[in-house]
Structure 1
């Protein structure tokens, strides 16, 4: 029972950790660390929850998960009682649903991007006022987004954006979108988006996705300000927020949305950056491998 109890505690602990992290503000000043911690919590929850169910299912064999699975397959579950069978079915079902929904999310995003790339080939154009490789849409509303890709990514701006921003602000926005493409932030979002599809009624899952989305934007802001002054991007974000841009197309990553709070949080940290405390950063970097790896190690622990 030791492995099952520890895995159950870790599963509950990751849920509590996700609740606390969704309300944390130190992550705004270390977004990459925050993203890694979110990924560790998500992985830890999935591995620990499935592992706890498998541990209960394999209790009759007394050998843990790694050694108990061959024993289960060898006697075709002859030793399992109703509770053990129910736990086994729950573990297999949860693992299958998570994997299937992740695959579905990937397929849906790939199709949306393929359609959007085909549309861009028809309606977009090049423009001398933007760097080579940036596409321009003749649309009056402000829009700027990245269409990620394996072999090539596209950065798209609208004619409304060119009219809204000056050259310095436009350069900062393009640097932000190129950061999304280089760091493949779309891949970071996929597991959290698929998790929301699995548990659409659970508010905590929605808060987790919102928090990761904001941290991804902040990470792209940080990369952009390596090349451009922070004030340029901050003023561009304020102009976008005032213009109330439409949501970025499905499968893309936009520079800003119409929501005031996330934009102001990004602007404030750009204009007044604050370092994360040493102890907070050390605690977070220590927790990342522990939360992600310890549940896997418990799979080998005998009952």
Structure 2
């Protein structure tokens, strides 16, 4: 079987893997491993799909992708037929669209954060009820989110949150938001958000983004409970869910999902795992950690496989 066929099978396989992983619940027990698997699947799909198209385009050279590229440039694609040219253009177009949309997503998020930081400078204030560096908005609704940044990140809470939570619950929520900032979960979300912009009508892409968002929240929960008792964050999440907070501003990460796809199931899943954690076994953890580099690396190896 040629490298092109293997890449095509791998591209289809990653779609099936994404479908299964979007329904998996074991990842809730090890959210960081789940996030790594999602990243590996996304990278593998992009590399494999582009590689399958390139391999089809370079079939006349019979040297695979890496070996066929010098011949393609050497004879200025003279051996390519109509189908091969179409495959080459499709590969270039797909790569260009994915990279362009990723760049657009980065620019859009950076601009949104810049505008929000400017707004916070005008309307936020400090408060003795929160640690130094935490900003308070005079708004009656419940809100708690972080504005990630390269140099510094801002954690923001509303006056409604200060009234809603007791000091211990507030400390747990702030620890959760600091976890988002320290682990740069915003960078994890960017490729999946840009992929949804490329394929907005494909439901699987939306489910993938939802799954990654939930795992990111769970990963922040895990880091927060290193510093605070898990019950404090669990009760804070339940209070937030009951208060029906507004969606976090664009480019930020909130403590509780409040977008159009939000619901009680993600909140209850987070609460249950905080109160009754179920760690993943060593063998399963090892298998998943081995699978990550294999899934991400195999498509690149197939680029060098000759026909």
1:277 alignment partner in structure 2? 281
Shift of 1:280: 2.7
- Which stretch shifts more, 281-290 or 72-81? 281-290
Decide whether the 8 Å contact of 1:57 with 1:84 is kept in 2. Answer: yes
Query: Distance between the aligned counterparts of 2:51 and 2:153, measured in 1?
Result: 38
Query: Distance between the aligned counterparts of 2:52 and 2:77, measured in 1?
Result: 18
Shift of 1:250: 0.1
2:82 alignment partner in structure 1? 82
- Which stretch shifts more, 3-12 or 274-283? 274-283
- Which stretch shifts more, 255-264 or 145-154? 255-264
2:167 corresponds to 1:154: no
Shift of 1:209: 0.1
Question: Which runs of no fewer than 5 residues in structure 2 stay unpaired?
Answer: none
TM-score normalised to the size of structure 1?
Answer: 0.99
2:266 corresponds to 1:262: yes
Query: Distance between the aligned counterparts of 1:92 and 1:287, measured in 2?
Result: 28
Shift of 1:74: 1.3
Query: Distance between the aligned counterparts of 1:70 and 1:107, measured in 2?
Result: 35
Residues 21-40 of structure 1: matches in 2 within 5 Å? 21-40=21-40
- Which stretch shifts more, 196-205 or 277-286? 277-286
Shift of 1:73: 1.1
1:211 alignment partner in structure 2? 211
1:127 alignment partner in structure 2? 127
Decide whether the 8 Å contact of 1:244 with 1:257 is kept in 2. Answer: no
Shift of 1:252: 0.1
SS at 2:228's partner residue?
coil
**RMSD over aligned Cα atoms:** 0.8
Shift of 1:279: 3.6
Which among 285, 291, 304 is matched to residue 300 of structure 1?
304
TM-score normalised to the size of structure 2?
Answer: 0.97
Query: Distance between the aligned counterparts of 1:201 and 1:282, measured in 2?
Result: 36
Query: Distance between the aligned counterparts of 1:53 and 1:278, measured in 2?
Result: 39
Deviations 1:246-276 (A, max 9, x none): 0000000000024211111100000000012
Question: Which runs of no fewer than 5 residues in structure 1 stay unpaired?
Answer: none
Deviations 1:26-76 (A, max 9, x none): 000000000000000000000000000000100111111112112101111
